Amino acid sequence: MKIKKIEIKNNKILKDISVDFEKNGKIIDTIVVAGSNGSGKTTFLESIWNYFLEISEYRRDILEKVDITFNDDFEKLKELDIIRHLKYANYDEKNDIKTYKETVSLFKVLPKLIYIPTEINFSEVKTETTNFYREYSFFNMVDFNMIKDIPSYIVSKVMYILGQNENLTMLEARKKVTEEINGIFNILELDVKLKGISKDGKNMPIFENSQGEEFDINELSSGEKQLFLRTLSIKMLEPEDSIILIDEPELSLHPKWQQQIIKVYQNIGKNNQIILATHSPHILGSVPSENIIILSKNEENKIVPITGEELYSSYGQTSDRILEDIMGMKSARNIEVQNLLDDVRNLVSENRYETDEFKEKYNELENILGNSDSDLMLIDMEIKRRKRG
**110, 103 in Cβ contact below 8 A?**
no
Task: Say whether 6 sits in a helix, a strand or coil.
Answer: strand
DSSP secondary structure letters along 279-292: --HHHHTTS-GGGE
**Which of residues 201, 221, 237 is at a domain's end?**
237
Element (H, E) at 38: none
164, 179: one domain: yes
**With 0-12 CB in 10 A as exposed, 13-18 as middle and 19+ as buried, what is 7?**
middle
35, 83: one domain: yes
Give the amino acid at 111: P
Query: In angstroms, what CA-CA distances link 104 with 7, 56, 58, 140, 275?
Result: 27, 15, 20, 18, 25
Element (H, E) at 174: helix 170-184
| Residue 127 domain flag | no
Task: Say whether 333 sits in a helix, a strand or coil.
Answer: coil
Query: In angstroms, what CA-CA distances link 173 with 142, 162, 164, 292?
Result: 27, 6, 10, 41
| Residue 136 domain flag | no
Number of structural domains found in the chain: 3
| Residue 118 domain flag | no
Q: Which residues pair with 277 in a beta bridge?
A: 33, 247
305, 346: one domain: no
pLDDT, residue 329, reads 62
Query: In angstroms, what CA-CA distances link 261 with 184, 192, 214, 254?
Result: 10, 16, 24, 10
**Which of residues 330, 346, 378 is at a domain's end?**
330
Task: Say whether 134 sits in a helix, a strand or coil.
Answer: coil
**Which of residues 237, 257, 279 is at a domain's end?**
237
Q: How far apart are CA 233 and CA 227, in angstroms?
A: 10
Q: Which residues lie closer than 8 Å to 257 by C-beta, 6 or more apart? A: 188, 223, 227
Could you count the other beta carbons within 10 Å of the beta carbon of residue 360? 9
Residue from 96, 215, 185, 197 nearest 154 by CA: 197
| Residue 356 domain flag | yes
99, 38: one domain: yes
pLDDT, residue 95, reads 59
4, 97: one domain: yes
Element (H, E) at 116: strand 113-116
3, 103: one domain: yes
184, 172: one domain: yes
pLDDT tens over the chain, length 389 residues:
888 888 888 777 778 888 888 888 888 899 998 877 777 888 888 888 888 877 666 555 555 677 777 776 676 666 556 777 777 666 665 556 666 677 777 777 888 889 998 876 656 665 555 566 677 788 888 877 777 777 777 777 777 787 777 788 877 888 888 888 888 888 887 888 888 777 776 777 888 888 888 888 778 787 888 888 888 888 888 899 899 999 988 888 888 888 888 998 998 888 899 999 988 888 888 888 888 888 877 777 788 887 766 666 556 565 666 666 556 666 667 778 888 888 888 898 888 888 999 889 888 888 888 877 888 888 888 888 888 87
40, 53: one domain: yes
**With 0-12 CB in 10 A as exposed, 13-18 as middle and 19+ as buried, what is 222?**
exposed
314, 345: one domain: no
Q: What is the domain range of residue 374?
A: 335-387
Q: How far apart are CA 112 and CA 272, in angstroms?
A: 9
19, 78: one domain: yes
| Residue 25 domain flag | yes
358, 306: one domain: no
pLDDT, residue 80, reads 57
353, 248: one domain: no
Query: In angstroms, what CA-CA distances link 93 with 40, 135, 182, 245?
Result: 39, 16, 41, 30
| Residue 368 domain flag | yes
| Residue 124 domain flag | no
| Residue 320 domain flag | yes
**250, 278 in Cβ contact below 8 A?**
yes
